[in-house]
Amino acid sequence: MISKKEYAGRRKDLMSMMADNSIAVIAAAPEKVRSKDTLYPYKQSTNFSYLSGFSEPCAVMLLIPNRQQGECVLFCRDKDPLRETWDGLRLGPIEAKRALALDDAFPIDDIDDILPGLLEGKSHIYYSAGKDKAFDKQLIQWVDEVTLDKESDSEPCCEQVDLDHLLAELRLIKSAAEIKLMRKAADISAEAHCRAMRFCQPGQYEYQLQAEIEHQFMTSGATGPAYTSIVGGGKNACILHYIENQSALKSGDLVLIDAGCEYQNYAADITRTFPINGKFSTAQAAIYDVVLAAQKAAINCISPGVTYDQANKATIEVITQGLVELGILTGDVDQLIAEGAYREFYMHSVSHWLGMDVHDVGDYKINNQWRVYEAGMLLTIEPGIYIAADNQNVDKKWRGIAVRIEDDILVTKAGREVLTDGVPKQRDQIESLMA
């Protein structure tokens, strides 16, 4: 759990990065209609969650550094017994102020009367535009109200500054409490992959493996998947973000599962690829071993002070070398790397940040230079080889084979820690788990 104190510290850290005489406006994510009067399950904006832990829609938080009457102000839905009977309990402003350790909280219905006054005279507004068009428009109206008001003698307001970038820098380095939650998300997800491996039989459908995985997530206390689970049998796994999950699983094919749970707002992201009948064929084993070697080479690169691109380079080298040894590519390895010949088979990069969002926030480059790893960063390592079923340039035995192996890695002072090693990835270990 993230403590009230940690949330307050995050708000303080953000305010310390803001200009003098400024205000940050953070809006809750809008609700989204699924059909007619039913909504998608509500997902709070991760920035809003990061700063407050507050999970209700229809809320706006203001951070106003050095404001005498209080720096942290929330607008949220008022208590309403009738609506609460239908839609669920609301915290309400009075309780929200106490529970979230804020300085002030008001009903959201009063925002038109209160917020423009708080914008008045501010030189900078920190805001993430483009996520909710209606709120973008509303904010412009409030700003116009205070800047175009001829009666007002306040300084004109105000330059808009991107808030996302500041928050991304804070979110990139995980605290001890965050790492604990991500460890739990990783453990649950690893156990779910083991369950799918034990359950898998030819003749089942991809969605049945999805159900096993997601069952394990939710019986373990996770909210659900952190992203739509990918379960691709055979050539379906050549589609990188395949989410239909409707096909039958055939003996002799591999299945690729890319699935991770969300636990208390933090994501895991694991991929394993295994034989549907429990035994790798010779061709599948050959491709698998190249991907596994590439993944291990990349993981071994990670430690503080190393740049972000090193792991990617390591996978490109191992995969290109491996494809040459298998006769899938021909030519000089260095030349093939320079030409990007591997891209036909390995068309994504090896890693992304992981945190509250599965593709988490944080710049990968600073001043056009690859970022240097620091302790507390968390990332995936996920190389793959995907050989299209209709690729006429390779021997038939390789066609339709797709393998990705993905783990979640914490950068530590001493180097790295793999959080997701609760699920096997050595071929013999997978085969014995499935037996």
User: Is residue 359 flagged as an active site residue?
Assistant: yes
The residues near 113 (Cβ < 8 Å, ≥ 6 apart) are none
User: Is residue 427 flagged as an active site residue?
Assistant: no
Residues near Mn ion (CB under 5 A), total: 4
For residues 236 and 212, the answer to whether their CB atoms sit within 8 Å is no
User: Is residue 87 flagged as an active site residue?
Assistant: no
- Answer yes or no whether residue 382 interacts with ligand GLY by CB under 6 A: yes
DSSP string, 363-411: -SEETTEEPBP-TT-EEEE--EEE--TT-TTS-GGGTT-EEE-BEEEEE
Q: How far is the CB of 169 from ligand GLY (least distance, A)?
A: 22
User: Is residue 31 flagged as an active site residue?
Assistant: no
User: Is residue 165 flagged as an active site residue?
Assistant: no
User: Is residue 215 flagged as an active site residue?
Assistant: no
Rounded to whole angstroms, the Cα distance separating 216 from 72 reads 39
Neighbours of 203 (CB within 10 A): 10
Place of tokens 């049998």: 233
Set 165, 215, 348, 399: catalytic member:
348
User: Is residue 269 flagged as an active site residue?
Assistant: yes
Q: What residue 227 binds from ligand GLY, Mn ion, none (CB within 5 to 8 A, per partner kind)?
A: ligand GLY
User: Is residue 124 flagged as an active site residue?
Assistant: no
Rounded to whole angstroms, the Cα distance separating 434 from 21 reads 62
Q: How far is the CB of 373 from Mn ion (least distance, A)?
A: 17
In what order do the strands lie in the sheet containing 124-127? 104-107, 72-76, 60-63, 22-27, 124-127, 159-162
62 pairs with which residues across the strands? 25, 73
The residues near 108 (Cβ < 8 Å, ≥ 6 apart) are 58, 59, 60, 75, 76, 77, 78
Using CB under 6 A as the binding rule, the residues of this chain from 233 to 262 that contact ligand GLY are: 258
Q: Which of 210, 216, 380, 420 binds Mn ion (CB under 5 A)?
A: 380
For residues 78 and 93, the answer to whether their CB atoms sit within 8 Å is yes
Q: How far is the CB of 189 from ligand GLY (least distance, A)?
A: 11
Instruction: Indicate the residue among 212 and 406 with the shorter CB distance to ligand GLY.
Output: 406
Q: Tell me the C-alpha to C-alpha distance, in Å, between residue 16 and each of 10, 45, 125, 246, 362.
A: 10, 22, 14, 50, 19
- Answer yes or no whether residue 212 interacts with ligand GLY by CB under 6 A: no
Q: What residue 360 binds from ligand GLY, Mn ion, none (CB within 5 to 8 A, per partner kind)?
A: none
Set 7, 288, 342, 386: catalytic member:
386
Q: Which of 42, 199, 207, 227 binds ligand GLY (CB under 6 A)?
A: 227
Set 159, 241, 374, 421: catalytic member:
241
Query: Parallel, antiparallel, or unpaired: how do β-strands 270-275 and 254-259 relate?
Result: antiparallel
Set 104, 206, 382, 407: catalytic member:
382
Site string for Mn ion, 262-281 (x = CB under 5 A): -------x------------
Q: How far is the CB of 259 from ligand GLY (least distance, A)?
A: 8
Instruction: Indicate the residue among 228 and 335 with the shorter CB distance to ligand GLY.
Output: 228
| Residues taking part in catalysis | 37, 241, 258, 269, 348, 352, 359, 382, 386, 404, 406
Site residues (vs ligand GLY, CB under 6 A): 227, 258, 269, 352, 358, 382, 406
